[in-house]
Homo-oligomer: A and B are copies of this chain.
Amino acid sequence: MLITRKAEFSASHVCADPRLSTEENERLYGRESRPLGHGHNYVVEVTVCGDVDPVHGMVLDLKALKEIIREQVLDVYDHRFLNHEVPPFDRIVPTAENVARDIWQRLKDPIGRLGPALHSIRLHESDDLFVEYSETPAP
């Protein structure tokens, strides 16, 4: 059984590698590389995998999951300029791929302590682009 909770945050970012020239960044990242940044209403879907408790009928305590997402993701990312305010994005480019992997790393242990395992992170950067990341081994 998989259970997924969605949350939203607003953030700004620049996709550019500081070691490259403006032209090289423009060629790699297009308009995402404009130096003053731009922003998105990100939607993150956190999926947890586990057995349903035969008594309670739940995979995990949803109130605890919501609280972990608030603490580990929303309080960190929401209304922030990722490159300047949210490590490790001072060192690595905040592409959707890297943001999804960072969210995985922030959530994996706190969710694991609730019992069931984090299964995957899906991150929507806009209506027509999303990524999905998982370190769960294939069955």
What copy number does this chain have within its complex? 6
A97 x B3 contact (CB < 8 A): yes
Main secondary structure of the interface of A (DSSP, over half): mixed
Q: How many Å from the CB of A48 to the closest CB on chain B?
A: 10
Chain B residues with Cβ below 8 Å from A70 are: none
A68: Cβ under 8 A from any B Cβ: no
Chain B residues with Cβ below 8 Å from A30 are: 62-63
B79 x A32 contact (CB < 8 A): yes
- A12-B12, A36-B85 known; A62+B129 contact, CB < 8 A: yes
B37 x A81 contact (CB < 8 A): yes
Bin the interface of chain A by size: 35 or more
By beta carbon, the residue of chain B nearest A130 is B4
Q: How far is the CA of A117 from the CA of B51 in the complex (A)?
A: 22
B100 x A1 contact (CB < 8 A): yes
- A2-B132, A38-B39, A129-B5 known; A95+B58 contact, CB < 8 A: yes
Chain B residues with Cβ below 8 Å from A13 are: 39
Q: What are some 15 contacts across the A-B interface (CB < 8 A)? A: A1-B131, A4-B130, A4-B132, A10-B126, A17-B55, A31-B79, A32-B79, A38-B81, A41-B126, A52-B95, A52-B98, A57-B92, A57-B93, A57-B97, A139-B139
